[in-house]
Amino acid sequence: MKTFIVNRNTPDLAENQRCQVKLMSERVPWLENEVIVYNCDEEPFQGKLSGHCRALQEHGSGDCDYYWFNHPDLSFAIDMDCLSKLIGVMERNHWIAVISPTEKRKTYASMIKEGYRWHPVATCDYLSLLVRRSVVDRIGFMNPEFKYSWGAIHEYSYKVYREGWCVAYCDAAKMHHFGGTTYGGKGAVQRDVYIKNAKAFARQYFVEHYGKSWDREFARLLPPGVANNYRAHRKHWERGERLATVLSILNFIKEHALMRAGWGRKPIRVLLGCDGTNRRGWVGIDPDIKLRPH
């Protein structure tokens, strides 16, 4: 297998994870794992997904069964058997195309299903994805057009289920996500701007490429018992747009009402150097002589 750790401004985290992955690999005697730290040093920064795609393009050839795509801000110290658990589940369940370890904080809907070793999901978080090479050979990896990553796994899971495979979480495998390591860094935007841009791109992309009912079309392919989170995520992406639209309409109504009442905005006429005189309808401005520069 090959592991791709993308790095942007966090070489210490990437190196720490590389060492952890090497140690985990040694616990599986038959496993050969080439661990590659890929530096996203392009300007402007195109996102970590773009980095993963370039790493795959440059280093993806060769004889291997799996690709492991990881973000740098992960630690597997809490479960150094994480990799062996992921591979074990994949080896016994050949219809799983993509599998992700779980995170203790349960920050992603449908992440953990108590009492299970693994369970299928509509989508998983794009932090750590173990993908079969045969899947990548057939449908590729995620679309690098998703500069902000949001939505990329949704499109990929749709393609996975369309081919008869599934996406899964491995409840038995654990990881820790530090989070927020690149927001506001060199060439990267602040968190609030990132989220705004990510939502805007995702909501527009899916309507343009899959139609207004894309979430229902995606959900149609899910097997019975798999929770549909496409709809909930779509609502989350569209929430900011709807709020902005409502505020714009309310502001228009307010301005229209003020204009009709005679209190609307009017141009302000300014008279500079009025020398203390007043002129009706004008705002007089006369500099204080004490402020005259020497």
Q: What is the pLDDT of residues 45-54, one digit of tens each?
A: 888 999 999 9
DSSP the chain: -EEEEEESS-HHHHHHHHHHHHHHHHTSTT---EEEEEE---SS---HHHHHHHHHHHH--SS-SEEEEE-SSEE-TT-TTHHHHHHHHHHH-TTEEEEEEEETT--STT---TT-S-EEES---TTEEEEEHHHHHHH-S--TT-TT-TTHHHHHHHHHHHTT-EEEEEEEEEEEE---SSTTSTT---HHHHHHHHHHHHHHHHHHHH-TTHHHHHHTTSPTT----HHHHHHHHHHHHHHHHHHHHHHHHHHHHHHHTT-S--PPEEEET-TT---TTEEEE---GGG---
| pLDDT tens-digit series, residues 215-269 | 999 999 999 999 999 999 999 999 865 555 555 555 556 565 555 655 555 566 6
Q: What is the pLDDT of residues 54-71, one digit of tens each?
A: 999 999 987 899 999 999
Please say if the pLDDT value at position 158 is more than 80: yes
The structural domain count of the chain equals 1
Reply yes or no on whether the pLDDT at 156 is more than 70.
yes
Instruction: Read off the pLDDT band of 294 (50, 70, 90).
Output: very low
pLDDT at 43: 74
Q: What is the pLDDT of residue 194?
A: 86
Q: Is residue 264 part of a domain?
A: no
**Model-level pTM?**
0.78
Residue 81's domain comprises: 2-184
Tens of pLDDT along 102-134?
A: 997 666 666 777 778 999 999 999 999 999 999
Residue 40 or 283, more confident: 40
Is residue 103 one of the residues assigned to a domain?
A: yes
pLDDT in tens, 76-89: 999 999 999 999 99
pLDDT (mean) for 34-42: 91
CATH of the domain at 77: 3.90.550.10
278 located within any domain: no
